[in-house]
Amino acid sequence: MRSGTVTLILVNLAGIMERADESLLPGVYKEVGAALHASPTRLGSLTLFRSIVQSSCYPLAAYLSVRHNRTHVIALGALLWAAATFLVAISSTFTEVAISRGLNGIGLAIVTPAIQSLVADSTDDSNRGTAFGWLQLTGNLGSIIGGLISVLIASTTFMGIPGWRIAFHIVGLLSVIIGILVRLFANDPRFVDSDGQKREQPPHKPLKEEVKGLIKEAKAVIKIPSFQILVAQGVSGSFPWSSLSFAPMWLELMGFSHEKTAVIWTMFNVAGSIGGLFGGKMGDVLAKRFPNGGRIILSQISSGSAIPLAAILMLGLPDDPSSAAVHGFVFFVMGFFISWNAPATNNPIFAEIVPERARTSIYALDRSFESILSSFAPPIVGILAQHVYGYKPLQKGSTDSKKIETDRENAASLGKALYTAIGIPMAICCGFYSFLYCTYPRDRDRARMDALIASEMEMIDTEEESHLRVSEYLDRGKEISISEVIDVDYEGDYDYNGGNLEFDENDEEKLLSRDLTSSDVDKS
């Protein structure tokens, strides 16, 4: 198997485990809340805290990915988040879980930009959307794995250990294995060519100079209008996805069993996987047909469709566990339609509006801005549910009938809060995409021109360097010729440390014969 294929497989496996780790906690919100006596607002703050730490570490991720082998960076991130996941599994207080999730964010932060820039560097404008679609598909597979593991074993116990803790142990162990495999067998094309030979690397600049260079590059990226628009829509567009972390809890409050909840949530993630691949492929097709607006149109359809579909799901369907098939169908349709934005538009456009050397920086900056702002979604959903729509935590010692009644009321409150956090941000997201029709063609053409100029300058530098080498070679050749002549003229056994030439008897006879011959000539 080719080295590049092995690398892509291992990188996608790392992406699977990254998303599996992220989806663990939302799948066991109910059990963690009961074990730690935490309300929805406090549970949402766990995701907020992790996201804040994660966002603050994205500049570190950009630095590591630019300076070091990106496959090594991915392996390091996997081992870091695995260690933090083990810490969550053994935590006994809410504070310990919060600290562990914060540490978890460090590992997750340094992996994402490295993976995205590797995919962008290995594709071109004609197939980049499809490649990111596959990346989203494998990532969603990780969400499915994490969701299934957490939901299905959350209510069980093994040797006295709660199931939700076992779920964290399992994902942590798998992450360690994947991290080791990536470190041993994956290759970064910047460091290793297609034949497996190491590429010659330019000497590292001093740390201070490299940091200054990254800051300068980041400032240049932030000034790009299309980047500003994509970040603005990304913040609003990521808000609903973060809010949906409460969807399993919402289904369980309605009375769905753990098994039905797992199946419905799996259907949603499967639909998102298929939708991501479909969106990425359609983005490539429309980009060829309509270069200046094809990708943008697709994303506006995707974000706009979320508004009515979420209304049907959260507000229109009955809060009744007997409607599992209908809920599953609507979840599937919504998951398919709302998952096009990143692979079809955002990620391919990011790669087109900056030079290749700045791709890691633009992905890191995007994740930094989007994550830190969209991470406020879970606590906002919790606040809306509790303080606006009347969510009431279950009282200790409640009877079964009272518990069922309270859960149904809380499900209705949480459903309204979820729709508020989905419908309004998606409408804003759809509006922001409209501005790209003006900025994207300009920014893309400017980046292409910059790349062309940089390529020509590199060729000029290469030619000048080759001329210098030829001149040096010719000069060196002249020096060699002169030295050879000198060596011939002074060939002998003279000792330059003060010795004399050594003559034997034959030499003396030759000299005498020459002298005699010379004197005869003079006489004649």
Domains of the chain plus CATH, in order, are: 3-434 (1.20.1250.20), 456-523 (no CATH)
pLDDT of 516 reads 46
Q: What is the pTM of this model?
A: 0.71
Query: Rounded to the nearest 10 degrees, what angle do helices 3-27 and 40-56 cross at?
Result: 150
Inter-residue contact 154 to 259 (CB < 8 Å): no
CA distance 77 to 68: 13
Average confidence score pLDDT of the chain:
81
- Contacts (Cβ under 8 Å, ≥6 apart) of 227: 221, 350, 353, 354, 362, 365, 366, 443
Judge whether 378 and 48 are in contact, CB under 8 Å.
yes
- Confidence class of residue 15 from pLDDT cuts 50, 70 and 90? confident
| pLDDT score for 460 | 78
Higher-confidence residue: 392 or 363? 363
Q: What is the pLDDT of residues 480-498, one digit of tens each?
A: 454 554 454 444 444 434 4
Three-state DSSP class for residue 261: helix
Cα separation, 243 vs 247, in Å, equals: 8
Give the closest residue to 181 by CA, choosing from 11, 18, 3: 11
Tokens found for residue 388: 């606006």
Q: Residue 497's pLDDT is what?
A: 44
Interval 315-355: pLDDT, tens: 988 888 888 899 999 999 999 999 999 999 999 999 899 88
Looking at residues 435-461, what average pLDDT do you find?
Answer: 85
At residue 519, does pLDDT exceed 60?
A: no
In tens, the pLDDT along 190-209 reads: 777 656 666 666 566 777 78
pLDDT at 154 over 60: yes
